[in-house]
């Protein structure tokens, strides 16, 4: 997710028009609204362990898709979850539902 955000959500030159989650973003297109990230950084709860987490697997998926389209099977392998394919497929489905990944002709891609 952070790699994805770093590509589009840049303070100096945000690319809000290209962002698939801009409809839910309070900051999109209106930089007079205070960026919520700095305020929430100190108030966040401690994060769960990263190694082996869904966040890590989703990040691996986004990194792989940044290099080009992948089939579901290829993406499961890139996520290093071949031993837990149902979990990997559920994470892929969530990325598609969230609009962070598109699926066309059996290929998953970044929007």
State the first-to-last Cα distance of the chain, in angstroms, to the nearest integer.
Answer: 14
67, 74 contact by CB (below 8 A): no
Assign residue 13 a region: left if phi > 0, alpha if psi is -120 to 50, beta otherwise?
A: beta
Please list the residues that pair with 108 across neighbouring strands. 70, 103
- pTM for the model stands at 0.57
- pLDDT value for 21: 78
* pLDDT in single tens digits along all 111 residues of the chain: 556 667 777 766 777 778 877 787 777 666 666 666 655 555 556 767 878 788 999 999 999 999 999 999 999 999 998 789 999 999 999 999 999 999 999 999 999
Q: What residue ranges do the domains of the chain occupy?
A: 2-41, 54-109
- Which residue shows structure tokens 């290829």? 74
- pLDDT value for 29: 61
* Rg from Cα positions in the chain: 15
- pLDDT value for 17: 78
- pLDDT value for 102: 94
- pLDDT value for 24: 79
CATH number of this structure's domain 54-109, picked from the four choices 1.20.120, 1.20.58, 3.30.70, 1.10.10: 1.10.10
Token pair belonging to 30:
């209106």
**Helix H or strand E segment including 108:** strand 107-109
């Amino acid at each position: 997710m952070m790699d994805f955000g770093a590509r589009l959500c840049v303070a100096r030159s945000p690319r809000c028009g290209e962002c698939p989650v801009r409809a839910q973003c309070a900051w999109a297109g209106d930089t007079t609204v205070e960026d919520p990230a700095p305020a929430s950084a100190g108030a966040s709860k401690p994060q769960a362990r990263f190694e082996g987490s869904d966040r890590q697997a989703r990040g691996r998926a986004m990194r792989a898709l940044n290099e080009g389209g992948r089939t579901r099977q290829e993406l499961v392998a890139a996520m290093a979850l071949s031993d837990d394919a149902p979990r990997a497929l559920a994470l892929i489905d969530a990325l598609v539902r969230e609009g962070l990944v598109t699926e066309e002709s059996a290929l998953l891609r970044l929007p």
